[in-house]
A = this chain, B = another copy of it.
Amino acid sequence: MATKHLSKDSVEPPKVLGSLRFYSMRFCPYAQRVQLVLNAKGTPHDTVFINLSEKPEWYLTIFPAGKVPALIYDGKFLSESLILADFLDEQFPEPPLWNSSPLQKILDKLVIESFGKVGTAFYKLIMTSEKVEEKYFDELVASLIPIETELAERGSTFFGGDKPNMVDYMIWPWFERLDSIDPYTQGKFVIPFNDKFPKLAKWKNLMIVDKAVAPYYLTPEKHAEHFTKRKAGLPAYDI
């Protein structure tokens, strides 16, 4: 397991026999998706963290797009978080993370797809807009309503039923970060989970202690620190 993010003039660490090579970045929510699937499956992997501001030349050689997450499996370079999650679920079937019914599986995929709006609203609020504004915060809160409704209609603890499935893991990285709005704005904006989103509030408390989620969990303060430095144009990875 790597600890530091490798940058421009680094050398790629030797691969570990019998292990997947996983290219990641500690604060990337898309990479976290793949990490959660690897954790849920217990798939042996060795992680190489990539500094996305000063990309290693060796990484750009094998992957000109220079993005994370990516995996090497059986000598093949594989990328794209949702596609990787599907691949891992098929290659390492236990425990299955998709529902076995094709109809429920596509309905679950469409929940993940529609969740994209929450991610977009979140990044607009804290990263791409000049400053954190009430109107963007309200948009973000509004984007969570269909997700709360979905969970309420399912009538289960997790989107996957009595335990997390692919939906829970694919949307989790953004929920971990939603709580960072509080420290990021010094308490000026706080998502009213308990008041407005009681199902998601309960779900969030259970997800944090899930065996796939807990080992990779970062506190709201840690995420806020990363966002603050990134917003200032000085992204810090090894914090």
Residues of A within 8 A of B (CB): 73-74, 76, 78-80, 83-84, 86-87, 90-91, 102-103, 105-107, 109-110, 113
Which residues of chain B are near A80, meaning CB under 8 Å? 109-110, 113
A110 to B86, CA, bound (A): 12
* Given A74-B103, A86-B106, A87-B105, 16 additional A-B pairs, CB 8 A: A76-B103, A76-B107, A78-B106, A78-B107, A78-B110, A79-B110, A80-B110, A80-B113, A83-B106, A83-B109, A83-B113, A87-B102, A87-B103, A87-B106, A90-B102, A90-B105
A140 to B103, CA, bound (A): 37
Copies of this protein in the assembly total 2
Which residues of chain B are near A102, meaning CB under 8 Å? 87, 90-91
Name the distance in Å between A127's Cβ and chain B's nearest Cβ.
Answer: 24
Most buried by B among A74, A78, A84, A110: A110
Closest 7 CB pairs between A and B? Answer: A90-B102, A87-B106, A91-B102, A83-B109, A78-B106, A87-B102, A74-B103
Which residues of chain B are near A73, meaning CB under 8 Å? 103
Nearest B residue to A91 via CB reads B102
Name the distance in Å between A186's Cβ and chain B's nearest Cβ.
Answer: 37
Most buried by B among A79, A91, A106, A110: A106
Which residues of chain B are near A106, meaning CB under 8 Å? 78, 83-84, 86-87
Which residues of chain B are near A74, meaning CB under 8 Å? 103
Whether A103 lies near B91 (C-beta < 8 A) is yes
A30 to B106, CA, bound (A): 17
A197 to B91, CA, bound (A): 34
Which residues of chain B are near A86, meaning CB under 8 Å? 106, 109
A74 to B103, CA, bound (A): 8
